[in-house]
């Protein structure tokens, strides 16, 4: 099934006019597949450069969202989901063994909102505890300012990690090339969507070849962020909640039997970018189906203590200072899903 054949979709929208914030290890804007796409951004790790990425993870996520290829007719390299979206790099980690601090990523979320991002990608998380107040308040701030936050569900095979588990955050698990659930994905009632996350090709400035393969929910979250950019570009009048509604209502279980939405592994189904921008889907309520953190979260704890995600009706086809290591779901790769190579490693001459 050509779920991720993108040429038809790019005839409708390529993410023009939408900025996606990538809160991660920085983004190397000099990579040939990302030139011109990466804004200056900001470093929150101690005065460095947001376009320095010694780990490579942030660049990988940015490429899945907005890579445009290179060379004659951009026939070399790879393409992301939304090749005309802009990337706002916000560096909160330098290496994958750095501690992920809530106050740093929370400050980055607020910066993203204040500097024009319409989608925030959090391909990171804390799988050992709940988000501190500063993080919950930052997510609530994004929600109050019509910014969609997308986060990875985690890679330890247990419960959905934070901040993905927070109400209003679009939590994403991973599937393989056959649309089968990747067993190490975080799973639970908080999962909203699944997307490709196994053997994914993406840009990697730390690899001499410039590319790499990886596996994890980091990749699947970035892919959903790219699709969100497509929807926000095509339907600029939709709220963040209504964008989430389109992504959810256009998802599918891809013919799998015995699943009922929402499913703990797949949520409302596997993301289908083309259907998300072309299906006839009513706008729905402004707040969308994901629930919402209260604006005043001062006395609330994460997860259920801060409210639960609201139910969403899929279509019938959808038949701490967090002092723990960053979970960077494997890092890199153009989507191979349902047997179709997606974020196109076209004509990879070298």
- List residues with catalytic annotation: 24, 57, 218
* Among 61, 71, 4, CA closest to 35: 71
Cα 10 to Cα 253: distance, rounded to the nearest angstrom: 23
Backbone φ and ψ for 222, nearest 5 degrees, come out as -65, -40
User: Measuring CA to CA, how many Å separate 56 from each of 53, 133, 187, 208, 210?
Assistant: 5, 29, 26, 12, 10
Residue 201 β-bridge partners: 213, 333
Looking from the CA of 27 toward its CB, the CA atoms found within 13 Å total: 32
Cα 20 to Cα 120: distance, rounded to the nearest angstrom: 6
């Amino acid at each position: 099934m050509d779920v991720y054949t993108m040429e038809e979709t790019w005839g409708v929208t390529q993410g023009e006019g939408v900025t996606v914030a990538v809160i991660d290890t920085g983004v190397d804007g000099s990579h040939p597949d990302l030139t011109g796409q990466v804004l200056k951004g900001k470093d929150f790790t101690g005065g460095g450069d947001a376009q320095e990425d010694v780990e490579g993870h942030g660049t990988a996520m940015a490429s899945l969202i907005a890579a445009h290829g290179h060379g004659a007719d951009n026939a070399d390299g790879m393409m992301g989901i939304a090749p005309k979206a802009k990337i706002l790099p916000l560096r909160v980690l330098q290496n994958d063994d750095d501690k992920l601090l809530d106050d740093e990523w929370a400050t980055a979320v607020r910066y993203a909102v204040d500097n024009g991002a319409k989608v925030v990608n959090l391909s990171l998380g804390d799988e050992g505890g709940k988000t501190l107040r500063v993080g919950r308040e930052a997510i609530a701030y994004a929600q109050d300012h019509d910014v969609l936050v997308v986060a990875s569900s985690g890679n330890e095979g247990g419960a959905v990690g934070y901040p993905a588990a927070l109400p209003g955050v679009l939590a994403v698990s991973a599937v393989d090339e056959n649309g089968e659930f990747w067993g190490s994905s975080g799973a639970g009632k908080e999962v909203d969507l699944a997307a490709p996350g196994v053997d994914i090709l993406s840009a990697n400035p730390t690899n001499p070849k410039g590319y790499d393969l990886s596996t994890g929910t980091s990749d699947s979250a970035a892919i959903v962020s790219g699709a969100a950019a497509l929807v926000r570009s095509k339907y600029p009048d939709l709220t963040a909640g209504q964008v989430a509604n389109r992504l959810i209502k256009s998802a599918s279980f891809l013919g799998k039997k015995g699943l009922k939405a929402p499913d703990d592994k797949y949520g409302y189904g596997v993301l289908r970018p083309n259907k998300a921008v072309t299906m006839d889907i009513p706008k729905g309520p402004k707040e969308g189906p994901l629930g919402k953190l209260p604006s005043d979260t001062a006395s609330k704890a994460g997860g259920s203590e801060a409210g639960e995600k609201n139910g969403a009706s899929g279509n019938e086809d959808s038949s701490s200072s967090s002092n723990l290591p960053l979970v960077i779901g494997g890092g890199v790769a153009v989507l191979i899903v349902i047997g179709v190579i997606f974020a196109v490693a076209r004509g990879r001459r070298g």
